[in-house]
Structure 1
Amino acid sequence: MRTIHTDVLICGAGAAGLTLAIELARRHVDFLLIDKTTTPFGGSRGKGIQPRTLEIFEAMGVADRMVAAGGRYPAQRKYRADSGYDDVASVEAAAPSAAEPYGEPLMLPQHLTEGILRERLMELGHAPRYGHALADFEQDEQAGVSARVATPDGDVTVRARYLIGADGGRSFVRKALGIDFPGESMNARAVVADLSLSGLKDDVWHRWNGGGAQQISLCPLRGTPLFQLQMPIPLEGEFDLSDAGIAAAIAARTGRADIVVHAVHWRSDYAMSSRLAERYRVGRVFIAGDAAHVHPPTGGQGLNTSVQDAWNLGWKLAAVLGGAPDALLDTYEAERREVAAGMLGLASKLLDAARLRGDLRRGRETQQLDLGYPLSALTLDERAHDASNSAVLRAGDRAPDAPCRGAAGQPVRLFTLSGGGGWLLLRYEASGPSAIAGRPGLRIVDIGVRGELRDDDGYLRDAYGFQPGDIALIRPDGYVGVLTGDEHGAALANYIKWLG
């Protein structure tokens, strides 16, 4: 049997697997990305890209492509029994700001999102291998993982230093590891489908029978000529998913004969549940995305949380493969599992609102801009904390963007400096040389009259709460690792030493 050697074997080429692959490719890590399906997923399923995920996609070089391919969420048109209707906003939108360049979610069907990620991966010299199924694996915690992969040309052995299971809610990797996946059924079952139809305008999200068992919605899918159908169905029994069956359900629930279904391009029925893996790591094997957490689709959290799992794990894998301590990889589960637990609670709350009141409006709590890692081992905060002011930036928070000016006069956004994939040390009006200069993978930027970056309008000062002499160390994934006014102190020195 032929043997392939690589650093990382990624099982699953959905949004999480593709994001992880891009991050490894950006860092010149050798990997193999496989998927058991013979072709890429072709449906809309996860159609909402949250503002925090757009920031991540900007760092990956694909945000503009996604915005160009998708569109804004339309208003919801709620039809009343008297044949009238009310139009209400679908999402809480805000104007882009200096600190938050994306003020609202983007609607982009999942297959288009994943297509753009595959395109970016191809630009970096890689592509998923479809029709490649992970058959079994075993690991040696000292040497790596041996995996048997079934391919169209026969079985091969893959020797990898790490294996990542990004292979969905029925994850083979999670089950093979014996990781418990506790949770609960949400006592809800639904149909989702992508349709070609006529009889409806595509400028609003059409909804009927809100808050009841017969509710139904038809949402225009930005970036396509299609509509996405969503409707609850009985928990038990067969549901007719044929084109004719779906057309009949639409006619019955809307009470309209003028809505004509021309084709059903993708369809799925599913029972909703909420589950969270008890562990994200066993030795040299990790799980990410839906393999680690499944949830109701309300709130548009699933794909976004999966992408951010991979975003968190990618730079850490690259760092450890480059010589950082293995303990860095333990922070992946510590940080991301807590976030997933909160996401599951939010999605369940939003599901209840949708079922009881027909309320699908999504607010800031779904946008993931306020999530962070304050209790992480990678968080060091030595600044005085005013517990009464939640607006004050703390270590562990998402690092805000800020427009600045380079020493040569050109405009510079902080995100253009922090999106390169390494650590970024901001020194605000500091004096003397940096105490931690000359370290691979660390960029040091002095801010001030004699620095390479000028904060003329005070955006950095205000966003970070900087005083002269303060520093902020921003992690490769765009979260604040350290805030301190003592660059020469023992705490920062120990932090840097721990990272290797």
Structure 2
Amino acid sequence: MNKQASTNTQVLICGAGAAGLTLAIDLARRGVAIRLIDKLPAPFAGSRGKGIQPRTLEVLEDLGVIDRLAAVGAPYPVQRLHKADGTFTDSQEVMVSPPTPEEPYRTPLMVPQFRTEAVLRERLAELGGTVEYGRALTGFDQDADGVTATVAGPDGAETIRCGWLVGGDGGRSFVRHVLDIGFPGKTLGVRAVVADIALEGLSRDFWHRCGEGDMDRQIGLCPLPHTDLFQLQAPIPLEGEIDLSVAGLQAFIDDRWTAGRLKVNRVDWASAYSMNARLADRYREGRVLLMGDAAHIHPPTGGQGLNTSLQDAYNLGWKLAAVLQGAPDALIDTYEEERRPIAAGMLGLATGLLEKAKQGEIKRGREVHQLDLGYRFSSLALDAVRPEDLLQPGDRAPDGRLAGAAGGAKRLFDLLAGPHWTLLARAVDPAALPAPRPGLHVHRVGGASGDLRDPDDVLGVTYGLAEGEAVLIRPDGYVAAFPAATDGARLEGYLAEVGLDAPSRAARAA
């Protein structure tokens, strides 16, 4: 039986992985009416994407879950390479750097994917949202005003009318298929097994590897924090069935592991898969959008897939909310404009790292941290004449230490946290600043009337601001503009383009 169409949904999100959950959280905290569906009967149970990169940690801080995530994760362990003669060497293959005021997270965090998604579901519940499992999108049509979607669930079919449909439904995306969007790329000639297993015979203090440089013998066993599990990773032949049972994986490990007897006690999750690198031809078709693995799939090397997907959602969330609240529809086009080139770059990086991994080279540095990615090329990066060595529009906005006028310590990230834009003005005449309005927080730093102080000269040293200058920062933590105090009309025009129109004179007078 087909239920009558529900009409109070502004955004329907298909797929409740990390990207779908992130988008749902970001929209829910902005007051957008969402529904989040997933065809799986229950949450994903595997560890697959276990590396959370530093830039993603900043995003998760803004979403309010960084401490919960750290509590269920841990730093990457030292890698122990076992040799055929019984000896081993230890090395730190993941770059470990101390935090700085500008970059509070500089080392990746290991969190099994099932734990990351559980933390995100908990946050979504706090915001009044939930995941509807066992509900599969079976079709949709769109018109100028919205999308009509058909969803099959345990209680029958349902028609949902929504303003926007977002497909975060994985590499075999149904949404992408219906839209007939090309997904070019290549199969990389590598097939692998990944499994979460309870194992005896190995120390949990190390990420154990052996057979490096030999694609027929390589195997890795990584302890998953706060569990009794190891993640097994190993290349496998391109053809043939792989026995993923306890007995099958026991035999697989016995064949490859040369450093003593190990015992497999339990298999919680396992998968055999072929590695691909693919990128969707486009991310938008009318009122339907793609994100995450539906838009790009990566080999696992470098830990870029989950992170790129989650940041897709973080980029899209504020734009969708702004358009739903009256911003020009063209704002949505900047989602593909910004995120597709990032995905293309990450595909190239991950594929290059895969080639190195085939030879046993698995060292990872800053290039995987995603802190240096930005949108200087974006139409949302307002032109500014600044020396090349200074922060530019489109760059990630660094953190820093300030002080409140009342004496309390303030981090810049504290000021940016939340679904708003932020304007930081250094000793600027208040009369030259934009009028107060919903969605824009204005802070005056220094000067007689400043609500903030800058004892470490963060705005000068890190942001390159002179007195009388300002910086506008987007809701997703990237610099939008360095507006001149003398060019208020240009700034107001930009704010209107992103849905922050100036209030009327009557409203300002009131």
Taking structure 1 as the reference length, what is the TM-score of the superposition? 0.97
**Equivalent of 1:130, from 110, 130, 133?**
133
Name the structure 2 match of 1:320: 323
Instruction: Name 2:498's counterpart in structure 1.
Output: 499
After TM superposition, the structure 1 = structure 2 runs for residues 263-282 of structure 1, keeping only pairs within 5 Å, are: 263-282=266-285
Q: Give the Cα separation in 1 of the matches to 2:126 and 2:491.
A: 38
d(CA) in 2 for partners of 1:69, 1:79 = 28
- Who is 2:472 aligned against? 473
Report whether the alignment pairs 1:340 with 2:333.
no
Partner of residue 438, structure 1: 436
Q: Amino acid of the residue matched to residue 118 of structure 2? A: G
Does the 8 A contact of 1:194 with 1:267 survive in 2?
yes
- Give the Å deviation of 1:330: 0.3
* Alpha-carbon contact 1:79-1:85 (below 8 Å) kept: yes
* Aligned counterparts of 1:113 and 1:177: Cα–Cα separation in 2: 30
Provide the C-alpha distance between the structure 2 equivalents of 1:471 and 1:223, rounded to a whole number of angstroms.
45
* Structure-2 residue corresponding to 1:395: 393
Cα-to-partner distance string for 1:371-426 (whole Å, 9 max, x where unaligned): 0000111101323223xx3xx21110000011110000001111111111111001
Give the fraction of aligned pairs with identical amino acids, expressed as a percent. Answer: 56
CA shift for structure 1 position 256: 4.2
Cα deviation code 1:315-372 (max 9, x no counterpart): 100000000000000000000000000000000010001002x122211010000000
Residue 491 (structure 1) shift: 3.5
Q: Is the 8 A contact 1:381 1:484 kept in 2?
A: no
How big is the shift at 1:143? 1.5
Distance 1:107 1:432 in 2: 45
AA of the residue aligned to 1:195: I
Q: Deviation of residue 435 (structure 1)?
A: 3.5
Tell me the equivalent position of 1:163: 165
SS at 1:380 equivalent: coil
Runs of 4+ in 1 over 4 A off after TM superposition: none
Q: 1:427: which partner in 2?
A: 425
Query: In the alignment, residue 400 of structure 1 is paired with which amino acid?
Result: P
**Partner of 1:303: helix, strand, or coil?**
helix
Check if 1:378 corresponds to 2:380.
Answer: yes
Aligned twin of 2:296: 293
CA contact (8 A) 2:434 2:488 kept: no
Equivalent runs, 1:16-415 vs 2, <5 Å:
16-140=19-143, 142-213=144-215, 214-356=217-359, 358-386=360-388, 389=389, 392-415=390-413
Counterpart residue number, 2:505:
none
> What's the secondary structure of 1:433's corresponding residue?
helix
| Unaligned segments of structure 1, at least 5 residues | none
Deviations 1:236-289 (Å, cap 9, x if unpaired)? 112222211111111111124521111111000000010000000000000000
Task: Give CA deviations for 1:92-134 in whole Å, capped at 9, x if unaligned.
Answer: 1111110000110000000000000000001111100001110
SS of 2:462's equivalent in the other structure is helix
Supply the AA of the counterpart residue of 1:156: E
Q: CA separation in 1, counterparts of 2:208 and 2:496?
A: 56
Corresponding letter in the other structure for 1:461? G
| In 2, Cα distance between equivalents of 1:219 and 1:88 | 14
Q: Cα gap change, 1:435/1:449 in structure 2, threshold over 3 Å: closer, same or farther?
A: closer
Contact 1:42 1:266 in 2 (8 A): yes
Moved more, 372-381 or 102-111: 372-381
- 1:282-305: CA deviations, max 9, x gaps? 000000000000010000001000
Q: Counterparts of 1:79 and 1:196 in 2: how far apart (Å)?
A: 20
In structure 2, distance between residues paired with 1:383 and 1:440: 29
Contact in 2 for aligned 1:251/1:257 (Cα 8 Å): no
Report the CA distance between 1:440 and its aligned residue: 2.3
Give 1:15's match in structure 2, choosing from 10, 15, 18: 18
C-alpha deviation, 1:458, in angstroms? 1.4
Judge conservation of contact 1:400–1:463 (CA < 8 Å) in 2.
Answer: yes
SS of 1:476's partner is coil
Using the TM superposition, give the Cα deviation of residue 490 of structure 1 relative to its aligned residue in structure 2, in angstroms.
4.7
Q: Which moved more, 1:446-455 or 1:319-328?
A: 446-455
* Residue identity matched to 1:494: G
1:462 aligns with 2:465: no
Is the 2:426–2:445 Cα contact (8 Å) retained in structure 1? yes
Alignment partners' CA distance in 1, 2:23 and 2:486 = 33
Q: Is the 8 A contact 2:84 2:258 kept in 1?
A: no
- Determine if contact 1:98/1:459 at 8 Å carries over to the other structure: no
Residues in 1 aligned to 2:311 and 2:432: alpha-carbon distance in whole angstroms: 31
Name the count of aligned residue pairs: 494
Amino acid at match of 2:174: F
RMSD: 1.2
Further displaced range: 18-27 or 452-461? 452-461
